Amino acid sequence: MNYIAFKFWIVLLLLLAATGCMEREAPVPLLQADEVLQAITGKWTIEKIDYQLCRDRNCTVSTYTGSTGDYFEFRADSAFLVLTERPQQQQKEQFKASYTLQGSVVLTKGEWSGRFELEEAKAKRLVLRNTFIGRDPNAIFTDTYYLTR
């Protein structure tokens, strides 16, 4: 075996060893519609909400860390989002909830509708992501809700 072939095999073995040791994130299993309802029904405390805005491949993220009175509650046909951004000022939104799509819940309020995909669904932790386009077609918004029980 010549020197170049030897170096090639050494580099190849190092690459294989490095990729084998890398921690890979397991894909989130896509829950069936009835499983989504079962997994998220109830009251969830808001840990934080990340608001991302991307325009022309330039993204900015702002984070709402929540307060003790913030929660997202899911019922069989409705959902409630309660945010207390300032003391003595509570914002409560009510949505119609639909659990007919695999791996997500669709929330509707008036003319607005959003598909919230389950990024993580565990007994004590839930991560929901909603991506939508604003009035400016170049603006893509992604809201990610980190919820705990």
pLDDT tens track for 120-142: 999 999 999 999 987 888 899 99
Is it the case that residue 32 has pLDDT exceeding 90? no
What is the domain range of residue 139?
Answer: 33-148
DSSP per-residue string spanning 37-102:
HHHH-EEEEEEEEEEEEEETTEEEEEEE---TT-EEEE-SSEEEEEEEEETTEEEEEEEEEE--ST
Mean pLDDT for all residues in the chain: 84
Residue 143: inside a domain:
yes
Is it the case that residue 74 has pLDDT exceeding 90? yes
Residue 66: inside a domain:
yes
Q: What is the CATH number of the domain that holds 62?
A: 2.40.128.20
Q: Which residues pair with 7 in a beta bridge?
A: none
Q: What is the pLDDT of residue 8?
A: 52
Which residue in 121, 119, 114, 117 sits closest to 148, CA to CA?
121
Tokens of 9: 């095999």
- pTM as predicted: 0.77
Within 8 A by CB and 6+ apart from 31, the residues are: 39, 102, 103, 118, 121
Residue 10: inside a domain:
no
Q: Give the mean model confidence (pLDDT) for residues 24-28.
A: 48
Residue type, 16: L
Residue 8: inside a domain:
no
Residue 112: inside a domain:
yes
Q: What is the pLDDT of residues 34-67, one digit of tens each?
A: 889 999 999 999 999 999 999 988 999 999 997 8
Residue 25: inside a domain:
no
Residue 11: inside a domain:
no
Which residue in 109, 116, 113, 77 sits closest to 93, CA to CA?
109
Burial of 84 (0-12, 13-18, 19+ CB in 10 A): middle
